């Protein structure tokens, strides 16, 4: 039965292909993260509406975790295609999901329903729904790349200490020799004390 909460979940599900298109097509990372943020932050809304309106349904109980898993799976695959996370990370998450799925099938085969939702599982889902978009944003912002920020800071007078003294720097030398110490000064700021 299509209830208001189920309709809300279907709208969340529609965000998954939109996210994939935005992240892989035009690489509109800001919009892609916005779609993920809306999908993740609205996760609680469908459950809240179902309880509040007395419209809890089996379809909703199935669609809500499906939406979460599809968002997580799509995000991990996008991050892997864009080489933000290694393939082993994606495989580990996919194996985890497969094991959970097989476990549910085994429970069903022996006449048991799915285990009750536990806060540990909800917390794990929340952490993934926050961490994965953060990785996408970090990949989209050039200054967030490893090694980029320190170089930018060293060249920027805004990060230089006023009236700073020269800083010692160790220079690597061929093996067998003692390292040389070179003193270099940071750019001084134009402020006076």
The pLDDT tens digits for 87-140 are 999 999 889 888 988 998 899 899 988 787 778 887 888 888 888 888 888 888
Which structural domain, as residue segments, surrounds residue 93? 4-144
Query: In the prediction, which pLDDT does 58 show?
Result: 82
State residue 146's pLDDT score: 61
Please indicate, yes or no, if residue 128 is contained in any of the structural domains. Answer: yes
Q: How many helices (H) and strands (E) does the chain have?
A: 7, 2
Report the b/e string of 106-124 with b at 16+ CB within 10 A: eeeeeeeeeeeeeeeeeee
Whether 125 is covered by a domain: the verdict is yes
Residue 176, domain member (yes or no): no
Q: Is residue 186 part of a domain?
A: no
- Tally the domains of the chain: 1
For residue 135, tell me if it sits in a domain: yes
* Model confidence, pTM: 0.67
Q: What is the pLDDT of residue 31?
A: 93
* Within-domain flag for 187: no
Whether residue 108 is contained in a domain is answered as yes
Residue 74, phi then psi, degrees to nearest 5: -65, -40
């Amino acid at each position: 039965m299509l209830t208001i909460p189920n309709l809300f979940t279907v709208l969340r599900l529609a965000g998954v292909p939109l996210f994939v298109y935005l992240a892989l097509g035009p690489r509109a990372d800001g919009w892609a993260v916005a779609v993920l943020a809306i999908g993740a932050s609205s996760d609680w809304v469908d459950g809240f509406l179902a309880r509040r309106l007395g419209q809890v349904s089996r379809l909703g109980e199935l669609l809500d975790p499906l939406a979460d898993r599809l968002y997580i799976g799509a995000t991990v695959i996008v991050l892997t295609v864009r080489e933000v996370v290694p393939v082993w990370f994606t495989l580990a998450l996919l194996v985890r999901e497969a094991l959970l799925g097989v476990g549910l099938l085994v429970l069903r085969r022996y006449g048991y329903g799915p285990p009750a939702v536990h806060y540990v599982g909800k917390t794990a889902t929340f952490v993934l729904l926050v961490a994965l978009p953060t990785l996408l944003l970090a990949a989209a912002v050039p200054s967030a790349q490893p090694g980029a920020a320190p170089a930018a800071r060293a060249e920027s007078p805004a990060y230089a200490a006023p009236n700073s003294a020269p800083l010692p720097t160790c220079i690597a030398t061929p093996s067998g020799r003692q390292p040389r110490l070179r003193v270099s000064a940071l750019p001084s700021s134009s402020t006076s004390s």
